[in-house]
Amino acid sequence: MENFNPILMLDNEYENVSDLEEILEIAGRKAFPDAREITILAESAEETIRIMIDKKNSEESFSGLIFDNHLYGEMDGDDLLRIIHGKTGYCFKKNSVYTNLKPSKFKSFKEFANVATDNKHSSRSQMILDFLEEHFKGIKDYVSFVNYFSQERNEFPQIFLSGSTSRIDSTGLYGIYYVQKCQGCEYNVLDIIKNEGIFSPDVIIPAINNHYRLSPVIQQKKKEYNPSSKHIKTRKKILRGKRKK
């Protein structure tokens, strides 16, 4: 069985990433036909962190992370990324003074939260505190998690999808690709996957060309079949996602 670390995708609305997931699966199976997993789909921050903890415990990793920012009814993707990066001090109160507050200095999550909120808790800080206490055995366990993936993150890209990249709160986050969600944004993500060397153009391009919605060839045939249709959506010029250092 070939050694391929899967791509972890987070979105609580599958239809938003279904086409992208399909192309990644096709390209991945072509490149690594015996791989156990190509993509792993998560629908919540809780499910995502459980998957990552399981990978750490198995001393495994990922080939990439693709997260959506807006996770309705729970914390957004940017806060989840900060927790993964160990920048949780900012999450409690959105106070940049505490962005680099090291959790390793505290004996408990509650003590950590008290300092980061100046002992003025809110429903937001309680949500973050509950999340940490639910998924980690304690501060040491959390610090071990952060340290493990801080090394692994140097090996895989993190791609962040948002309906408005100009409004993303990127405090404490570095080395992230930010991609605007729009019609055809899958091309941006696939360009990153290709440029990062996860899959080669030899497997990505055929996967795109055979896709019913994203294939330029198929879309052109549709236009030729019904050139007078006013309902055909043409691909707009796409700006490539830029990785902020």
pLDDT at 239: 42
**Rounded Cα–Cα distance for residues 89 and 82 (Å):** 9
Average pLDDT score, the chain? 87
Instruction: Sketch the domain layout of the chain as residue ranges.
Output: 7-84+156-244
129 by Cβ neighbours in 10 Å (0-12 / 13-18 / 19+) ranks as buried
pLDDT at 224: 45
Residue 216 CB coordination number (10 Å): 12
- What is the predicted pLDDT for the residue at 184? 85
DSSP secondary structure letters along 88-101: HHHHHH--GGGTT-
What average pLDDT does the segment 150-176 reach?
A: 89
Q: Which two tokens stand for residue 138?
A: 């304690």
- Token digits for 179? 């991609």
> What's the CA gap between 174 and 162, in Å, rounded?
16
Closest Cα to residue 181, out of 101, 76, 70?
A: 70
Q: For 219-243, what is each residue's pLDDT tens digit?
A: 554 444 344 444 333 333 334 455 5
Q: What is the DSSP letter of 8?
A: E
Tokens of 112: 């950590």
Q: In the structure, what pLDDT confidence band is assigned to residue 244 with cuts at 50, 70 and 90?
A: low
C-alpha 7 chain-centroid distance: 9
Q: Check the CA dihedral 19-159-90-135 and report its sign.
A: positive
CB count in 10 Å sphere of residue 137: 9
> What pLDDT digit, counting tens, does each position of 68-116 carry?
988 876 788 899 999 999 999 999 999 999 999 999 999 999 999 999 9
pLDDT in tens, 3-41: 899 999 999 888 889 999 999 999 999 999 999 999 999
User: 7-84+156-244 maps to which CATH number?
Assistant: 3.40.50.2300
Alpha helix segments (H runs only) across 139-215: 139-152, 185-195, 201-209
For residues 43-59, give the mean pLDDT.
Answer: 95
154 pLDDT more than 80: no
